[in-house]
């Protein structure tokens, strides 16, 4: 039995509606979760919203709402988006849940019992937008006397009583972690950045605030709320039942992968492992910081008027088209760009004209020329065997290898090579001509194609689940025989033929897209 697999996204900050970056990360996580399930692993996939902090309190005040009302409204928009995008999460988590307050207080108490928390006075630079503290050396000058964080966000000089975490104590243990487990931070460029930061020296971290009260209360000190990142990071444990010794904790912790944006790598690879070391809890196996998604090469912002509603993109182009585009177009881990033209071009060339057309014309020829009947009574020729070998290599070896390494674009390149090989085979075999000259050979060609299309549909199922399942439904493939183990079953075709299955008139998968007159706003 394969090992269980626990995967999380960053929990998203709901001080506004979700944007395309939220969709990108969560789609990528969903592809990982579905891919691991196709490999036969029991997967736990958690996403959700990070609802505490000064930024939420300020936004709620601007809107004349309570922070709870704002969190309830905005969190629902995220959930609706993820459901729209066919995200197969097992748990949608909200940090405002009572059980999460208990878990956050438990990890706080464990760190305190280890002697790693002390009360002092904080004076320093703080970015409300990042919910992050910065050293003077990290800042740059903005307009006038304004100071900016490394992320380009304004910082304020803050003075208040605060609890501190002895982060400096964990400098050497963290560096040892990075050296001994180079896979802990991925991709390599992020690991190098984090190592340079930690090697530069760690200062103790302010981990509580007294200037607002929207957050988790510090145990025994009700006038303090925890720094939002202490409680936000703890969500990965709370979702499994921590601090209780639940079956989920025993089965799924430590997490196999925290998938996050590159802008929050420091919190996940410096603060989080230090907190866990302090609390005596096992560390996650890997943190992967993906790149930003840019709109025509520019970061989206309200001031530029280029913020995209991912719901509109999904409605205009289709959910599976959007999922495929984002994973195929962008080398995962690097920044990538999108536009309506790029989505239409990629979808038409690869999904509509190549894979969709291959399936449609093959199944249509079986329906028209063989009355929808399948036959295992044919002898394979050299070209048939060669095609099967090409498709099997791409779908059983190359794509899984690349997806396991989170190289989605490269994996889909291999898959497309197999699709192109099938289309080339169709053109060379010309089954429409064989119908008159050699009907038996025509049937053999069509059965060969039928078998390869099933393999292609199962291999790409993590990326375009609804479209793959629609195709496999039409082909009579049992719903419980659509994973990678099914690709190793030598008898599936004989059973399908023996069942008396007859192919109905096929329905197209990917209609050709036209460029919308106006891009989604």
Read off the pLDDT of residues 105-162 as tens digits, 9 standing for 90 and up: 999 999 999 999 999 998 889 888 887 888 888 999 888 888 999 888 899 998 889 9
- Which residue carries 């891009």 as its tokens? 519
Pairing relation of β-strands 156-165 and 117-127?
A: antiparallel
What DSSP state is assigned to residue 11? P
C-alpha to C-alpha distance for 117 and 92, rounded to whole angstroms:
31
432 has pLDDT over 80: yes
SS3 label, residue 403: helix
**Non-local CB neighbours of 506 within 8 Å, separated by 6+ positions:** 359, 360, 363, 364, 367, 474
Q: Write the burial class of residue 507 (CB in 10 Å: 0-12 exposed, 13-18 middle, 19+ buried).
A: exposed
- The encoded tokens of residue 271 equal 């603060």
Which spans in 128-269 are helix H?
171-180, 188-199, 228-238, 247-252, 265-266
Q: Is the pLDDT of residue 305 over 70?
A: no
Q: How far apart are CA 291 and CA 406, in angstroms?
A: 13
Place of tokens 């096929």: 506
Residue matched to tokens 């794509």: 399
Question: What domains are defined for the chain?
Answer: 5-290 (3.40.50.620), 340-498 (1.10.730.10)
State whether residue 50 is helix, strand or coil.
Answer: coil
Is residue 51 within 8 A of residue 14, CB to CB? The reply is: yes
pLDDT in tens, 125-141: 988 888 788 888 899 98
Q: pLDDT digit string (tens) for 244-281?
A: 999 999 999 999 999 999 999 999 999 999 999 999 99
pLDDT tens across 207-225, in order?
999 988 899 999 999 999 9
Lowest mean pLDDT among 75-79, 306-310, 318-322: 306-310
Check pLDDT > 50 for residue 519: no
Res. 48: pLDDT tops 80: yes
Close Cβ partners of 323 (under 8 Å, ≥ 6 residues apart): 27, 30, 31, 85, 86, 463, 464
pLDDT per residue over 443-497, tens digit each? 999 999 999 999 999 999 999 999 999 999 999 999 999 999 999 999 999 999 9
Name the pTM for this structure.
Answer: 0.93
Angle at 137 between CA 134 and CA 151, to 5 degrees: 50
């Amino acid at each position: 039995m394969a090992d269980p697999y626990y995967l999380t996204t960053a929990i998203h900050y709901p001080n506004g509606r979700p944007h395309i970056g939220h969709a990108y990360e969560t789609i990528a996580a969903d592809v990982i979760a579905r891919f691991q399930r196709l490999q036969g692993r029991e997967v736990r996939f958690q996403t959700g919203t990070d609802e505490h902090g000064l930024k939420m309190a300020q936004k709620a005040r601007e809107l004349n709402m309570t922070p709870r009302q704002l969190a309830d409204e905005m969190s629902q928009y995220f959930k609706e988006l993820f459901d729209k995008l066919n995200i197969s999460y097992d748990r949608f988590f909200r940090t405002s849940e009572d059980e999460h307050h208990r878990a956050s207080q438990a990890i706080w108490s464990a760190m305190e019992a280890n002697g790693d928390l002390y009360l002092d006075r904080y004076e320093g630079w703080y970015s409300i937008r990042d919910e992050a503290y910065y050293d003077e050396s990290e800042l740059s000058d903005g307009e006038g006397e304004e100071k900016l964080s490394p992320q380009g966000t304004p910082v304020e000089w803050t003075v208040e009583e605060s609890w501190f975490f002895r982060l400096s104590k964990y400098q050497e243990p963290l560096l040892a972690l990075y050296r001994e487990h180079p896979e802990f931070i991925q991709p390599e460029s992020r690991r190098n950045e984090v190592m340079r930061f930690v090697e530069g020296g760690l200062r103790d971290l302010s981990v509580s605030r007294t200037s607002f009260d929207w957050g988790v209360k510090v145990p025994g000190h009700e006038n303090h709320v925890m720094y939002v990142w202490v409680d936000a990071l703890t969500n990965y444990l709370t979702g499994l039942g921590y601090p209780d010794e639940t079956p989920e904790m025993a089965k799924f912790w430590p997490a196999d992968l925290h998938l996050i944006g590159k802008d929050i790598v420091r919190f996940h690879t410096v603060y989080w492992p230090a907190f866990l070391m302090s609390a005596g809890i096992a560390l996650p196996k890997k943190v992967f910081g993906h790149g930003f998604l840019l709109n025509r090469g520019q970061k989206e912002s309200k001031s530029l008027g280029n913020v995209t509603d991912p719901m509109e993109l999904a409605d205009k182009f289709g959910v599976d088209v959007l999922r495929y585009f984002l994973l195929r177009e962008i080398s995962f881990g690097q920044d990538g760009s999108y536009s309506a033209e790029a989505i239409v071009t990629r979808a038409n060339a690869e999904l509509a004209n190549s894979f969709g057309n291959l399936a449609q014309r093959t199944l249509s020829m079986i329906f028209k020329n063989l009355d929808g009947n399948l036959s295992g009574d044919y002898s394979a020729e050299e070209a048939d065997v060669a095609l099967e070998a090409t498709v099997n290599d791409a779908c059983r070896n190359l794509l899984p290898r690349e997806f396991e390494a989170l190289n989605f674009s490269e994996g889909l390149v291999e898959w497309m090579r197999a699709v192109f090989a099938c289309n080339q085979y169709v053109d060379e075999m010309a089954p429409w001509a064989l119908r008159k000259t050699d009907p038996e050979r025509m049937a053999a060609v069509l059965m060969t194609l039928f078998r390869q299309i099933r393999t292609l549909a199962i291999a790409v199922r993590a990326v375009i689940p609804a479209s793959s399942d629609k195709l496999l439904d039409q082909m009579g493939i049992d719903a419980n025989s659509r994973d990678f183990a099914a690709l190793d079953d030598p008898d599936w075709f004989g059973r399908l033929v023996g069942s008396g299955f007859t192919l109905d008139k096929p329905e197209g998968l990917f209609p050709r897209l036209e460029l919308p007159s106006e891009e989604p706003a």
